[in-house]
Structure formats: C-alpha cells, structure tokens
Amino acid sequence: MSPTPDALLKLIWLASPVLPVGGFSYSEGLEAAVDGGQVRDEAGARRWLVDQLRLALARSDLPVVAEAIRAWRGGVDDVEPGNDRRADLARIEALNTWVRTTRETLELRQQTEQMGRSLHEWLRIQQAGKADEHGAVVDADARIAQLGALKPAPTWPVAHALALARSGAPLQQALLAHGFGWAENMVQAALKAVPLGQSAGQRILAALVEALPAAVEQAMTLDDTTRQAHTPMLAILSARHEAQYSRLFRS
C-alpha cells in the first residue's frame, strides 16, 4: 500500500532535518567515538552508523515507533475509519516508560525527552494554526494533549510516532521516514565531527538508505519480548561524552 500524495508530503516533512526538534544538536555518541579514535575517516563513520542502525535503531527505537503508531491509531497498523483517534493510552505510557528506562546515560535520556517535548509543542502549534475565526481549534486531536501529559515527558520515538500516525501513511512507510530522518541527522553529525566533505556524507547516506528497508522489516517483527536496547560500547562512549573536554554536540 502506497501513501497518498498528502501523506507522502507529510512524511517528507517529518523526516526533514529542519523539523524544529533540535536533532541537529546531537551525535548519539558519534562525537565521543571520533574523540576516542573508534571513528577516524569516512569508512569508519560509515561502518559505525550502519552498525548503529542495525544493532540499535532496528532493535529498539524503530520497534517502539511501530508499536506506538499502532497504539496511537487504536491498535491497527494503518488508518481505518473510526480508529484513527482512539489511542491505547496504557500502551503508549508503557512504551514511553520503556524508552526512558532503557536510555543508558543521562544525556541520551535528556535527548529523547527534549526532542519529545519539542515535537509535542510543534504539534500543538500546528493544531492551533487551524483555529476558526473565533479562535476555536477545528477538529482538535485529543491525542496531542495526551502526548503532552506523559510523565515526566514524552520521549522522541513515542512523540514522532504520533506525528507519523497523524500523517495517514501506511506503517512501513512511516517507519522508513523515521529511519531516514535519523540517518540524515547522523550523517550531518559525521560531517562536522570527523570531519568529512559533502560527497563522503552522500556515500554514507547511500549506505544507510540501502540498509534501512531491512532494518524496518526487522523492526516490524519485534514485540515486547524480542525488542531490546543493548549497546554497551555506545553507552560507555555516551558516558564519556558527558565529561568530554571539547565538544560540538549535546550527546
């Protein structure tokens, strides 16, 4: 099933690195890997990011996004009449808690909460922009307020899942958009941290694009018993990054 033109444009928007959530300010441990010598050049950056996609994103965040989209849509993969506004809030809260408790360092937890809050604010403003001449929001989506009510904060995968669910796009395409948005931000981080040129960045992005469909397919098969967050080296590097003397990024 292909997305409609409207849904496709929304997916492109939601995958854009200019989405005002601050994704450009994080390297997710890559800067620490450069500082520690694990990543030194284009080949090292490509290998690092493809491994991160396969070992971290495909096993953790992408499965959460898939489950959260289903939960925001009332337990279905794709939008169906009458189901697109009945969120499974208990499921959403459980997924949000899982994301927070599996972030292994302070800065990674702060990242997911800051980006989640920022996306909630963006969604709120987008909805407020649809007010009628009397200031009343037209066709208000209660799920936006429900996202903002998550404690202590909405996490990025759960928040982005709501935006993707609202796009009307099929689940697989929504996950591809989430993964591509991550890939673009990480390539931009590599260009600055290694540093690399634009052509090198495009070659790395091509490698990530090639690996992304399989990562999405894997993510769609995982559930609560098979989803995992286990990246010890990434956690160690993130912890080191918190006290790194000189740095460009917040993670």
- Tokens (6 digits) for 201: 């960045």
Residue 20 in this model has a pLDDT that exceeds 50: yes
Model confidence, pTM: 0.93
Could you read off the pLDDT of 60-117 as tens digits, one per residue?
A: 999 999 999 999 998 766 665 444 567 899 999 999 999 999 999 999 999 999 999 9
pLDDT band, very low/low/confident/very high, at 15 (cuts 50, 70, 90): very high
What backbone phi and psi angles, to 5 degrees, belong to 227? -65, 140
Architecture of domain 32-241: Orthogonal Bundle (1.10)
pLDDT score for 82: 43
pLDDT score for 247: 83
pLDDT band, very low/low/confident/very high, at 127 (cuts 50, 70, 90): confident
pLDDT score for 244: 83
% of the chain exceeding 70 in pLDDT = 91
Residue 49 in this model has a pLDDT that exceeds 60: yes
Could you read off the pLDDT of 169-205 as tens digits, one per residue?
A: 999 999 999 999 999 999 999 999 999 999 999 999 9
The β-bridge partners of 131 are 137
pLDDT band, very low/low/confident/very high, at 10 (cuts 50, 70, 90): very high
Residue 139 in this model has a pLDDT that exceeds 90: no
pLDDT band, very low/low/confident/very high, at 232 (cuts 50, 70, 90): very high
Residue 213 in this model has a pLDDT that exceeds 70: yes
Selection from 47, 85, 63 nearest residue 218 by Cα = 63
Q: What's the whole-number average pLDDT of the chain?
A: 92
Average pLDDT over residues 134-146: 76
pLDDT score for 243: 86
pLDDT band, very low/low/confident/very high, at 167 (cuts 50, 70, 90): very high
Could you read off the pLDDT of 25-48 as tens digits, one per residue?
A: 999 999 999 999 999 999 999 999
pLDDT score for 81: 43
pLDDT score for 135: 58
% of the chain exceeding 90 in pLDDT = 81
